[in-house]
């Protein structure tokens, strides 16, 4: 398993992206609680790259990756800025992880994913927020929770869970980990310092969200500048896209 693939599905506390990817993977694993996945479950991975999430769906015999890059492990090569070459109502689960910030029109891609999703199908989306420009020059925007709530509803998708990766207070610690990661020092030294920072961040966030619960003014404010977002949304039978 490549390091990049491991970072996406099995982040460790000594990894610079721990604060961002660990909550996102936790959200993804909740798919089992709201879907009855099995060998016949049809899974579509949009912007699949190395297909890091394939092993999480070992029961499925139909896992299709879509990507533009020739270096990816895609089964279908397609420009995500164009209509997807996928039949309507053909996917039970759609994964779109760290992709929407790289497409020119995320509204259009979300609309297309909704079209491809079966009624009562589930879509998983994760996106960075307080994160450096990456994948240059194809990094176009950062999307907020308000964007997801409004846009997914317009596309006939109902959010079942929307999770922030961390609190506003620990985002600065996450940024420190990103800086340490690129310093020209031995990886062991970087890992030890990053592990310490991540441990402190986890403790701080656990305490903050226990004291200031969701729905309170302070709790809401703490969620305004996370490292990223992850969500699960359901397509209902009678939902119609309004975009």
Per-domain residue ranges of the chain? 3-11+20-167+227-235, 168-220
The CA-to-CA distance between both ends of the chain, in Å, stands at 40
Q: Cα separation of 180 and 172, whole Å?
A: 12
pLDDT, the chain, mean? 93
The answer on pLDDT for 36 being more than 80 is: no
Say what the pLDDT of residue 31 is.
85
Say what the pLDDT of residue 125 is.
98
3-11+20-167+227-235: in CATH 1.10.10.60? no
Say what the pLDDT of residue 240 is.
57
Say what the pLDDT of residue 238 is.
64
Other C-beta atoms lying within 10 Å of the C-beta of residue 57: 20
Proportion of the chain above pLDDT 70, given as a percent: 96
82-101: pLDDT as tens digits? 999 999 999 999 999 999 99
- For the CA atoms of 234, 51, 142, 18, the dihedral, rounded to the nearest 10 degrees, stands at 100
This prediction's pTM: 0.94
Say what the pLDDT of residue 214 is.
83
Proportion of the chain above pLDDT 90, given as a percent: 85
Average pLDDT over residues 138-159: 97
Element (H, E) at 171: helix 168-181
Say what the pLDDT of residue 205 is.
97
Average pLDDT over residues 30-42: 79
């Amino acid at each position: 398993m490549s390091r990049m693939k491991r970072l996406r599905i099995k982040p460790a506390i000594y990894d610079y992206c721990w604060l961002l990817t660990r909550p996102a993977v936790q959200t993804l694993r909740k798919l089992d609680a709201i879907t009855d996945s099995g060998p016949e479950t049809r899974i579509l991975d949009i912007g699949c790259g190395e297909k890091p999430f394939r092993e999480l769906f070992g029961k499925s015999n139909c896992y299709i990756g879509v990507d533009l890059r020739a270096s990816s492990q895609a089964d279908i090569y397609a420009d995500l800025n164009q209509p997807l070459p996928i039949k309507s109502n053909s996917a039970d689960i759609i994964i779109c992880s760290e992709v929407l910030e790289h497409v020119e029109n995320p509204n259009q891609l979300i609309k297309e994913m909704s079209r491809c999703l079966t009624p009562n199908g589930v879509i998983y989306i994760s996106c960075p927020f307080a994160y450096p420009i990456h994948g240059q020059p194809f990094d176009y925007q950062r999307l907020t929770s308000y964007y997801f709530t409004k846009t997914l509803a317009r596309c006939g998708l109902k959010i079942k869970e929307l999770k922030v990766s961390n609190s506003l207070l620990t985002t600065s610690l996450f940024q420190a980990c990103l800086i340490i990661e690129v310093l020209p020092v031995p990886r062991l030294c970087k890992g030890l310092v990053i592990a310490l920072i991540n441990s402190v961040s986890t403790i701080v966030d656990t305490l903050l969200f226990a004291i200031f619960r969701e729905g309170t003014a302070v709790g809401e404010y703490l969620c305004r500048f996370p490292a990223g977002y992850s969500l699960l949304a359901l397509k209902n039978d009678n939902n119609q896209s309004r975009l």
